[in-house]
Amino acid sequence: MESWNLNELEVDAHLPQVLGSDSEGRAIVINLPKGEQLQEHQVHERAWLLVADGKVEITTPDGKSADGGPGLLAIFDPKERHEVQAVEDSRLLMVLSPWPGDGHPSQRDSGK
């Protein structure tokens, strides 16, 4: 077993920290300072985004939105575009599964 207290980890803004990664999934902690955003993007995997601290607003191009603080969980389908805006200094946990997902650049590099 491995465990972490997400709010006690030293994670620099703009430098996500990978907590664990294998073929079943990848867990990443992200610090997002107030007013900053993860611009509209998509990932090849299913993504679970949990707000551990702070407050964020999440939007999708099709008009869906959610906002909240600690405990907010958003789940995105593979390749679903979304944007995350920090309303307060925020700490996020993102879990991607499987890792890497179909079409991920690392698969092309390895011949998969």
Q: What's the rounded Cα separation, in Å, for the pair 37 and 58?
A: 10
The answer to whether position 80 is within a domain reads yes
The answer to whether position 64 is within a domain reads yes
Identify the CATH number of the domain in which residue 86 sits: 2.60.120.10
Q: What is the pLDDT of residues 36-46, one digit of tens each?
A: 999 888 899 99
CB 27 within 8 A of CB 94: yes
Quickly count: other Cβ atoms within 10 Å of residue 94's Cβ.
20
Answer whether 0.85 is exceeded by the pTM: yes
The answer to whether position 5 is within a domain reads no
**Span 12-16, average pLDDT:** 91
User: What is the torsional sign of CA 8, 9, 15, 16?
Assistant: negative
pLDDT bracket for residue 16 (50, 70, 90):
very high
Quickly count: other Cβ atoms within 10 Å of residue 92's Cβ.
24
pLDDT at 7 over 80: yes
The answer to whether position 50 is within a domain reads yes
The answer to whether position 84 is within a domain reads yes
